[in-house]
C-alpha cells in the first residue's frame, strides 16, 4: 500500500485508507494517481472516485470538490461523498428525475440554472456508482 487517501466532507471524515491507486473526476477530465505522483491540486466534478486496494476497486460518488496530492497522500475535500453500498438507488433515481424536470423548465439565463445543473450531475453520479 503506497498511498494514503482521505475523503472529507463538511459533515465528516468519510474515509481514511491506504491504497495502490486513486482515480478521480477532474474538471478537465479524469485522472489517476499512483505512488510518488507529482504534487498537484485539482477541482473535482461530480462523479465516480475509485481507489484500488490489493487489486480490488472501491467506488464513491462525490459531489464535486477539490483534491490535493503531495508526499504519497491524497486528500479529497468533497461537497458530498457516498460509498457504493450506501446509495439508495430508488432515491437517487427520484432525485435525478426531479432535478431534470426542474432544469428542463429553466433557460440558461435563469439564476438557478447552475444550481439545478449541479444537482443533475450529482444525482447522475450517484446512480452511476450505485449501478
- 53 shares a domain with 73: yes
Q: Are 62 and 79 in contact (CB under 8 A)?
A: yes
**Which domain does 44 fall in, by range?**
3-84
- 66 shares a domain with 31: yes
Please state the domain count of the chain.
2
- 57 shares a domain with 15: yes
Q: 75 to each of 16, 53, 79, 95, how far by Cα in Å?
A: 9, 16, 13, 28
- 57 shares a domain with 107: no
User: pTM value?
Assistant: 0.85
Q: Per-residue pLDDT tens, the chain, 131 aa: give them.
A: 599 999 999 999 999 999 999 999 999 999 999 999 999 999 999 999 999 999 999 999 999 999 999 999 999 999 999 999 999 888 888 988 988 888 888 888 888 888 888 888 888 889 889 88
- 38 shares a domain with 17: yes
- 31 shares a domain with 19: yes
Q: What is the pLDDT of residue 92?
A: 87
Q: What is the pLDDT of residue 122?
A: 87
Residue 103's CATH number: 1.20.5
Q: What is the pLDDT of residue 10?
A: 95
Q: What is the pLDDT of residue 131?
A: 81
Q: What is the pLDDT of residue 1?
A: 56
Amino acid at each position: 500500500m503506497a498511498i494514503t487517501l482521505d475523503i472529507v466532507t463538511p459533515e465528516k471524515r468519510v474515509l481514511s485508507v491506504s491504497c495502490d491507486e486513486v482515480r478521480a473526476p477532474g474538471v478537465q477530465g479524469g485522472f489517476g494517481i499512483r505512488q510518488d505522483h507529482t504534487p498537484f491540486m485539482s477541482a473535482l466534478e461530480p462523479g465516480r472516485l475509485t481507489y484500488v486496494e490489493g487489486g480490488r476497486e472501491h467506488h464513491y460518488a462525490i459531489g464535486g470538490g477539490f483534491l490535493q496530492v503531495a508526499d504519497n497522500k491524497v486528500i479529497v475535500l468533497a461537497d458530498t461523498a457516498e460509498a457504493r453500498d450506501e446509495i439508495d438507488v430508488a432515491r437517487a433515481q427520484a432525485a435525478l428525475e426531479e432535478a431534470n424536470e426542474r432544469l428542463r423548465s429553466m433557460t440558461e439565463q435563469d439564476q438557478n440554472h447552475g444550481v439545478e445543473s449541479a444537482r443533475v450531475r450529482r444525482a447522475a453520479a450517484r446512480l452511476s456508482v450505485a449501478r
